[in-house]
Structure 1
Amino acid sequence: MATSAKIELRAEDIKPQIGSRVLNTKDELLSGELGDALRDLMEQRGVLVFPQINFTEEEQVAFTKTMGRFAQEGDREGVTKITLDVKENPSSAEYLKGSLYWHIDGTRNDVPILASLLTCKVPSPKGTGNTGFSNTYTAYDALPDERKAEIDGLTVIHGPWASLFYHTPEPSLALLENYQRIGEAELPLVWEHKSGRKSLVLGNTAVAVKGKTPMESAAILHGLRDWATGPEFTYSHEWEPGDLVIWDNTGTMHRAEAFDPSSGRMMLRTKLEGEEPWASAG
């Protein structure tokens, strides 16, 4: 009796420390046979790129489910529009301004999402609107041992209100209080995962390192962000219509690079439910 041939994952590295380009067909990806292999590769490489795979909205949802538990956003199971166009996204376009700066999603959640999947429907003009990624696993691994010893065990206060000052340096009190209502969390600066690997927990929600002066805290947080976003650990994806990119939110920072909000740039996002809580801080 004839049996179907096993589908093999086909991928190539983009850069030595971050990113892989997946070369499988749409049908192979939707089969579900590659889900585990893709998850393993995502954890190793941080970012997976599927050039011009051209998923429909329904196909993106179905593909997301092959890799884990689908994280529903809003009141229905489907894709979420990601755009700064207030006509298309009136409720969260203001909040999405923070996405232009390095961050990890879900620093206020007990269990951050595992991954985001982003499809490009309308890119911004060439040279703008790329999405940047930083592999915080490999950035930690490459630190000198003495630096690791200095930062292991440190606790950082995170709050979405801190991201406000990146794009609105002089906010009104009302706007600041609106962001502060979301709350804060204390997270480890170095996250030791169940796998045994360690990653840096940084980004624009980081307020301060507990037990350090403001000067010391700023030097630690900005210094490590500068290190982790150096060329060795980062990849900037220039979007084409139909591209899909997946990134490991538990060991990767990301940001949208500057573009004109009126350009019509439109992305469609799905997410995978988190499976691992933040490690205990301190």
Structure 2
Amino acid sequence: MATTAITRFAHEEIKPKIGSRILNSKEELLAGDLGPQIRELLEQSGVLVFPKIDFNDDEQIAFTKTLGTFAPEMQDGTNHKIHKITLDVKENPQSAEYLKGSLYWHIDGTMNDTPILASLLSCKVKATWGGNTGFCNTYAAYDALSDEQKAEYEKLRVIHSVWATVFYYEPEPSLAKIQGMQRIGENELPLVWNHKSGRKSLVLGCTAHRVLDVTPMRSAEILVGLREWATQEEFSYSHDWSVGDLVIWDNTGTMHRAEAYDPTCNRMMHRTKLQGEEPFE
């Protein structure tokens, strides 16, 4: 009688509250059998690291599809399967300016009602200096709040806007730049996301512009204070890239940022995404 071999899911913890390292081979990952286990661990750990797995673009796309619904990238009005993350305007003429905001803590998709589930980023050219990607677990950060803080924050709504992120990297922008960013619009989101799993996470980042129904001073205290809380060492992990690494992060329960690096070094990452499965609630 024929028997089917069961692939053992091999992984190890990076930090207790964020990050796991996946040790399976490329062939085992592409087979697709481990998809459900990877998804489960992703929610628990927030970030999964596949050291020097060295996927090419087709393999990265195929692997992404084993984890959920593949979400193509929209560039120049057309769909692309791979998005090049780089400040090199020759490689990325449309998004190089927009990517300056990626140097600050954020969640992808705060302008949408349903954000992407996860991003998969592979390193093709690492920075000459710096260039780590930082992550923090906003599930764990919420869980560690006091009962009094949870009761206060769960009632609050926050306005998110892309135009507000400009002031992080350009303190005195032109009116034309601000007006161009403002055309993207704003979005009202909960400060605490009640997930369909029953878990809760914080919705923060550089797009979080103001808390509704509180004074501007109190709004700043809340947003800055919670950012400091969520990004402290206990809840955060900084990935030092090697060429060939792949990292997945749960966009519904983490924030991330690119850490400072030489903007002229042609650092290059290739990104794929998983389609969102639940709206902000």
**TM-score, normalised via structure 1 length:** 0.97
How is 1:1-282 mapped onto 2 (pairs within 5 angstroms)?
1-74=1-74, 75-126=78-129, 128-279=130-281
SS of 1:262's equivalent in the other structure is: coil
SS of 1:153's equivalent in the other structure is: coil
CA distance in 2, matches of 1:132, 1:2: 46
SS of 2:73's equivalent in the other structure is: coil
SS of 2:185's equivalent in the other structure is: coil
CA distance in 1, matches of 2:265, 2:80: 27
CA distance in 2, matches of 1:47, 1:95: 24
SS of 1:157's equivalent in the other structure is: strand
Aligned 8 A contact 1:58 1:78 in 2: no
Deviation of residue 7 (structure 1)?
1.0
Deviation of residue 77 (structure 1)?
4.3
1:229-269 CA-partner distances (Å, limit 9, x unpaired): 00000000000000000000001000000001111100000
Deviation of residue 173 (structure 1)?
0.4
CA distance in 2, matches of 1:261, 1:92: 14
CA distance in 1, matches of 2:144, 2:173: 37
Output the amino acid matched with 1:116. S
Output the amino acid matched with 2:102. S
CA distance in 1, matches of 2:48, 2:57: 19
Deviation of residue 125 (structure 1)?
2.0
CA distance in 2, matches of 1:226, 1:84: 27
CA distance in 2, matches of 1:181, 1:201: 22
How many residues are treated as equivalent by the alignment? 278
Runs in 1 of length 4+ with deviation above 4 angstroms? Answer: none
SS of 1:268's equivalent in the other structure is: strand
1:98-136 CA-partner distances (Å, limit 9, x unpaired): 00000000001111000000000000024x000000100
CA distance in 1, matches of 2:279, 2:148: 27
CA RMSD of aligned residues (A): 0.8
List gaps (5 residues or longer) in structure 2.
Answer: none
1:133-165 CA-partner distances (Å, limit 9, x unpaired): 010000000111111111111000001111111
List gaps (5 residues or longer) in structure 1.
Answer: none
